[in-house]
A and B are shown apart, each in its own frame.
Chain A
Amino acid sequence: MRHVKWAVVVCGVVAVALGVGAVQGQQLSGEYKIGVLEPLTGNLAVQGKLHLEGYEIMRDLINERFGGVMGKKLVFVTGDAVDPTVAASEATRLATREGVKIITGTFASTLCGAASEAASRQNAIYWETSCVDPRLTRRGLKNVFRTEIDGTGFGWYNIEFIAKHLAHRLGKKPNELRVAFLSEDSSYGQSVTEAARQRAKQEFGMQEVGAEFYTFTTNDLTPIILKLKNANPDVLHHIARDQDAILFWRQAREQNFQVKAVVHAGATGYGNPGFGKAFGNDANGPFALLEPGPGFIIAGMRPEGQRIERAFREAVKAKTGSDVLAGGHQLAGGGLWILKLALDAAKTDDLDKFRAAVLAMDLPVGSSINGWGVKFDETGQNSNPRVQHYMLQWQNGSLVTVWPEEFTTNRAKWIPLGAWDQRK
């Protein structure tokens, strides 16, 4: 009897090993080519190259360990989308001359509209993984899908954080909070801010004490800071582009502007590593809504999500030598993984069948990279509550994950923000 038990155990181990080996070493039959369109030169090139690197890392992972796509080896043909005009012409080239049926990219809100229009004219599927311009999925284009939330989703999450975490830490009910909204005036800034304003007022009854938009290349933000001092908000919801966050933070300190919390969304402004480089420990305090950063508890994800998350992190570390993932890696890698799942489910790139498979996907939070889930709506937009986002805070010169607390080992500090020289 004992020998029988051992035989069963050994057979089981062998079967599992063979099964894993079958996926990892699966023979891929042929190649499946998609177009990757990113800005690889010009001002957007830094983020564009990071995204391309994220796609490449995920592509290699899919081919080597996860059975390719539809049983085939995934290969890329790339295009350089330096500006909207070139993005459109490159999307057309990828579809017509390279013959791809799926184009993914382009990360920038200034590029995705033009690229997706061009892809649509060629009846190609456009799979956006980063750009957050809400208009992308509001044009009735059946070929357009977006894995990341849009700008309104960022506003939704920011207010979620303010209402459900900051309010009680500040000893107030959400409807007692005084919130000022400040934003650079791009479509990104405006869409995030307007969505946040709407939700803050309609769902939580927060008190809006100011709303101001500015051009991000402005050279003096002192007049705005003086107005904010008069308004005396508890929370400043500030969507900044880049150098404007640095200018604001310096001038706010000069004017001794005291606010209890500053909340931002996205990889620009306070979400850009350059903010920490500029100020070191003096950057401590502001929050930025991003993908998961240091402190993220992978074990909090579902088993299938943990598996791909760990594999991706190992692959990124092998490629870059860093334990900290860049936002471009996370968005591109996460988006490409969901595309693989969709193609495997559809077993074809025929637009109607592919679309039906995408809309049928229903994965809970924690199933995929970044702790994301999947549930696309009819417009081709992945849903806000499924695309789990995280609040990071500048602590001792680094951005660390602080919310939702069940997903992180870190806790938010300096609530309310103390005096400028006491945030150490």
Chain B
Amino acid sequence: MHALPQLIVSTILLGGIYALIAVGLTLIFGVMRVVNFAHGEFLMLGMYLAFWAFALLRLDPYVTLVLSLPLIFGFGWLSYRMVMRPVIHASHNVQIFTTVGLSIALQNVALVLWSADSQFVRTGYYTVVVRLGTAVLNLAQLIAFAVAVLTTAALFAFMRWSYTGKVMRATAQDRAVASLMGIDTGRVFALTWAVGVTCVGVAGVLLAPIYPVYPTVGLQFVLIAYVAVVLGGLGDMAGALLASLIVAAVEVIGSYVIGTAWKEVLYLLLFIGILVVRPAGLFGQRGAEAIGT
């Protein structure tokens, strides 16, 4: 039992990391109905951005985070214009192949440019920890968790109360009617994609002082983010946050009690079990396809 405080802390911090990745994914799916298989590669690019800014310019990742927000948003917008816009009205199969292709292309560009070696941002404070009783919290992970909660809350509020958020929700509910009401759905999709990419890019910058970066690092996180998004209810941000914490709890506590080799089996069993009982996920409403609710 003496390990329990540390296991709880580890669960919360790891869940925060998963949530940070999952919110952008759920936003894109909720509004655009596109499963973005390149989501992990945008995470990888965010991590490399932080690494190179640190290695070449000695910029702290948190400074990079602030400075790079417009850059990441612009990259997201550009990737929509170049890759997603031509297929946004195509079938799901075409969209899946497009994002899978984008994922493979980005991985291989990274491989050619930066090799398969793992790189790590070793800041002056990477060993700094915060003690909470007998539990130990890594400072960078604590910051990532705080940003995850803030991002989720901000996106939730944006979608629920802002005019643009309402426009995005209207487009998500019925894009044809939204067009008839004068909504420029093309701009809504571009904005949604760019915001989703910005969320995961921010996640990448925040993860750089915690995990090593290499071209396929996105795969390490994104499968779990998919599980969290579906478990929480596709398109539901609060659901994604809660589901991320549930997945992290199963992973951390399962590893300790049963064995690390079982952790994936455990959270995927939970995933299947919940979907059997609630096919739309914990917070999803079957058929409603709502967002921000």
Query: Does the CB pair B120–A277 fall under 8 Å?
Result: yes
Query: Does the CB pair A222–B122 fall under 8 Å?
Result: no
The 0/1 profile, CB within 8 Å of B marked 1, for residues 187-218 of chain A is 00000000000000000000000001111011
Residues in B neighbouring A272, C-beta threshold 8 A: 118
Q: Which of B88-96, B187-195, B210-218 lies at the interface with chain A?
A: B210-218
The 0/1 profile, CB within 8 Å of A marked 1, for residues 106-135 of chain B is 000001000111111010001101000000
Interface residue B277 (Cβ < 8 Å from any Cβ of A): no
Q: For the complex, what is the distance from the CA of A251 to the CA of B259, rounded to whole Å? A: 18
Query: Does the CB pair A254–B129 fall under 8 Å?
Result: yes
Closest Cβ of chain B to A243, distance in Å, is 4
Residues in A neighbouring B216, C-beta threshold 8 A: 43
Query: Does the CB pair A246–B120 fall under 8 Å?
Result: yes
Q: For the complex, what is the distance from the CA of A256 to the CA of B135, rounded to whole Å? A: 11
* Chain A residue at minimum C-beta to C-beta distance from B10: A222
Set B127, B253, B260: member contacting A218, Cβ < 8 A: B260
Interface residue A65 (Cβ < 8 Å from any Cβ of B): no
Interface residue A44 (Cβ < 8 Å from any Cβ of B): yes
Q: Which of A53-61, A223-231, A364-372 lies at the interface with chain B?
A: A223-231
Contact of A218 with B117 at beta-carbon distance under 8 Å, contacts A42-B111, A223-B252, A254-B138 already known: no
Query: Does the CB pair B14–A220 fall under 8 Å?
Result: yes
Closest Cβ of chain B to A358, distance in Å, is 34
Query: Does the CB pair A223–B10 fall under 8 Å?
Result: yes
Interface residue A242 (Cβ < 8 Å from any Cβ of B): yes
Max chain B C-beta neighbours (<10 A), residue from A217, A220, A246, A256 = A220
Query: Does the CB pair B122–A223 fall under 8 Å?
Result: no
Set B6, B14, B126, B260: member contacting A224, Cβ < 8 A: B260
Q: For the complex, what is the distance from the CA of A173 to the CA of B111, rounded to whole Å? A: 48
- Give chain A interface residues in 213-259, CB to chain B under 8 Å: 213-215, 217-224, 226-227, 230, 242-243, 246-247, 250-251, 253-256
Closest Cβ of chain B to A329, distance in Å, is 17
Q: For the complex, what is the distance from the CA of A45 to the CA of B114, rounded to whole Å? A: 12
Interface residue A405 (Cβ < 8 Å from any Cβ of B): no
Query: Does the CB pair A218–B263 fall under 8 Å?
Result: yes
Q: For the complex, what is the distance from the CA of A279 to the CA of B253, rounded to whole Å? A: 29
Query: Does the CB pair B211–A274 fall under 8 Å?
Result: no
- Give chain A interface residues in 70-94, CB to chain B under 8 Å: none
Q: For the complex, what is the distance from the CA of A280 to the CA of B216, rounded to whole Å? A: 24
Q: For the complex, what is the distance from the CA of A242 to the CA of B6, rounded to whole Å? A: 25
- Give chain A interface residues in 133-174, CB to chain B under 8 Å: none
Q: For the complex, what is the distance from the CA of A256 to the CA of B251, rounded to whole Å? A: 22
Q: For the complex, what is the distance from the CA of A280 to the CA of B127, rounded to whole Å? A: 13
Query: Does the CB pair B252–A220 fall under 8 Å?
Result: yes
Residues in B neighbouring A246, C-beta threshold 8 A: 118, 120, 212
Residues in B neighbouring A222, C-beta threshold 8 A: 6-7, 10, 252
Q: For the complex, what is the distance from the CA of A274 to the CA of B119, rounded to whole Å? A: 7
Query: Does the CB pair A274–B118 fall under 8 Å?
Result: yes
Closest Cβ of chain B to A152, distance in Å, is 21
Query: Does the CB pair A45–B111 fall under 8 Å?
Result: yes
Interface residue B219 (Cβ < 8 Å from any Cβ of A): yes
Set A45, A224, A247, A253: member contacting B211, Cβ < 8 A: A247
Query: Does the CB pair A224–B118 fall under 8 Å?
Result: no
Q: For the complex, what is the distance from the CA of A218 to the CA of B264, rounded to whole Å? A: 9
Interface residue B3 (Cβ < 8 Å from any Cβ of A): yes
* Chain B residue at minimum C-beta to C-beta distance from A242: B118
Q: For the complex, what is the distance from the CA of A173 to the CA of B216, rounded to whole Å? A: 44
Residues in B neighbouring A230, C-beta threshold 8 A: 3
Interface residue A10 (Cβ < 8 Å from any Cβ of B): no
Interface residue B136 (Cβ < 8 Å from any Cβ of A): yes
Q: For the complex, what is the distance from the CA of A221 to the CA of B10, rounded to whole Å? A: 10
Interface residue B255 (Cβ < 8 Å from any Cβ of A): yes
Query: Does the CB pair B211–A226 fall under 8 Å?
Result: no
Query: Does the CB pair B10–A220 fall under 8 Å?
Result: yes
- Give chain B interface residues in 194-213, CB to chain A under 8 Å: 211-212
Query: Does the CB pair A219–B220 fall under 8 Å?
Result: yes
- What are 16 pairs between A and B in contact, CB < 8 Å? A42-B111, A44-B116, A46-B117, A212-B259, A214-B261, A219-B221, A220-B248, A222-B7, A222-B10, A223-B10, A223-B256, A243-B217, A250-B138, A274-B119, A274-B120, A278-B122
Residues of A in contact with B (beta carbons under 8 Å apart): 42-46, 185, 212-215, 217-224, 226-227, 230, 242-243, 246-247, 250-251, 253-256, 272, 274, 277-280, 282
- 6 nearest A-B pairs in the assembled complex, by CB-CB distance: A278-B120, A223-B256, A223-B255, A214-B260, A243-B212, A217-B220
